[in-house]
Amino acid sequence: MRHSGPLGPRRLAHRTLLVALATVLAAAVTVTPATAMPVTSPAFSVPVAYAPADVIERADQIRDEQWQLDKLGAEIAWRTSTGRGVTVAVIDSGVDGSHPDLVGRVLPGLDLVSPDGTAEPDPVGHGTTVAGLIAGRNDDRQGVVGLAPEARILPVRVLDEENRYDDALIVAKGVRWAVDNGARVINLSLGGSGDSAALAAAIDYAFARDVVVVACTGNLATSPDAKVWYPAREPGVVAVSGLERNSNNLWSGAITGRATVLTAPASGLVGARPPSGYWRVQGTSFAAPLVAATAALIRSRFPQMSAGDVVNRLLVTAKDIGPTGRDDRFGYGLVDPIAALTADVPLIHHNPLDDNDSPGVSGFGTAPGLTQVDESDADQLGLSGPRQETRWRARAAGSPDDAATERLWIGSAIFVALLTGAALMVRRFRQSQR
C-alpha cells in the first residue's frame, strides 16, 4: 500500500507486526520441511517400504545403516564367534522365518495366542525385527545382519495383534516351553509395571536349567511410570536399557533405574519387517536382543560355560560409560562383544545378579505347552498367581519411530496457525485504512 504522509503510531504498529509475522512464516516454510520430511537423509522410524529385491543399492544402504554393528565391533567379534550351535528363544509377537534375512535361521516354534495358527506368523512384525537383530543372515551385502548371525531362533508367540498380552501366565508358559525345547538364551522384549509370581517361577525354571534370560527395561512412552519393567527387574535377569544413535547418551525414551544391568543401541535402528521389507525402529525392545546375541556369541565360544558365568562375563567386560562402576542409568555400561569373547574372566559358577535361592530343579515339572493345566497342578508348578495378575496389561518396548511424522504434523499445524494469524492481521490492517 502507498501512503502519502508519515505513518501514524497505529499504522506503524500494524506494519511492524506484519513484518514480524512474515519473517516467522518465512522461517517456518524454510525449516519445517527439512525436519519433518525425509528428503535427502531418511528420518528415523519412517517404514522402509520396499523389498530387498527392488534396488540393490537400497538393500546395501540398509546394511550400511546398521550402525550398531560398528558400535559393538561385530566384524572383530565374528573372528572369534558367530553364535553357531546356540538357540535363542524370542518370546514375542512371533517370527516370520520366510523373511530373506532369516531363512534357515528360525526353528519351529509355538503360538500361545492363536494355537490353531494364523495366516501370518508375525502379524505385528516386532518379533521378526528382534530376531533379525539377533540372527539375521550374513551371507551377502543385502538387508540386515544379526550380531550372532549363525545362531538359531526359537519363536514363541505371546503378544497379540496389538503387540500386547493380558495374562502373565502365557508368557510364563512360553518361557518354560522355550527352556524345554533347547533354548540356551531367552530374549524378552516385553514387560509391564506389575510383578508376576508365575513369570518369576518360570524364570527360576530357566535359571535352574542353565539358561540366560535377557529383558528390556521398557519405554517411557508406553509406561504409566518410570519404573523398570517386569520381568527385567526380576533378580538374575539381564535388564537392558538403550542408547541414542552413535552416542553413549541414554536414549531419551528409555526407562532406566536401579535394576538396569547393561545398555545397548536402541534408536536409529533398521530391522527386518514381514514379509520381506525393512523399517526403522526404536526402543529398548531392540537393545535387549543385542545383549541376547552377545550371550549367544559367548555360549558358542565357551559351550561348557554356565549361564551364571556367561552373565558375569557380560557384566565384567562391559564398557563403563557412566559414573565409575555400576550406576542407575547405564548399569555396568555398554555391552562389549569383543571383550566378552576375549577377556580373561575367572569363573564364579553362579549368576551375580540372582540374589534369590532357586527352588531347585526337582521343584519343577515340564512346560505345559498347549495342554490345559488344572489349578492344583498350576499351583504346584508355580504357574498360577493372584487372580488380578491375569488381568494386567503389558506390551513390547519397541515400535516404528514416528518422530518424523509427528514433526510433520506439528510443523503443518504451526504453519496453518501462522498463516491464519497473518491473514487476520492483514484484514484488520485494511479495515483500519478505510
Catalytic residues: 92, 126, 285
Peptide bond into 6 cis (omega under 30): no
> Can you give the chain as a three-state secondary structure string?
CCCCCCCCHHHHHHHHHHHHHHHHHHHHHHHHHHHHCCCCCCCCCCCECCCCCCCHHHHHHHHHCCHHHHHCCHHHHCCCCCCCCCEEEEEECCCCCCCCCCCCCECCCEECCCCCCCCCCCCCCHHHHHHHHHHCCCCCCCCCCCCCCCCEEEEEECCCCCCEECCHHHHHHHHHHHHHCCCCEEEECEEECCCCHHHHHHHHHHHHCCCEEEEECCEHHHCCCCCCCECCCCCCCEEEEEECCCCCCECCCECCCCCCCEEEECCCEEEEECCCEEEEEECHHHCHHHHHHHHHHHHHHCCCCCHHHHHHHHHHCCECCCCCCCECCCECCECCHHHHHHCCCCCCCCCCCCCCCCCCHHHCCCCCCCCCCCHHHHHHHCCCCCHHHHHCCEEECCEECCHHHHHHHHHHHHHHHHHHHHHHHHHHHHHHHC
Q: Whole-angstrom Cα distance, residue 345 to residue 291?
A: 18
Q: Whole-angstrom Cα distance, residue 300 to residue 80?
A: 9
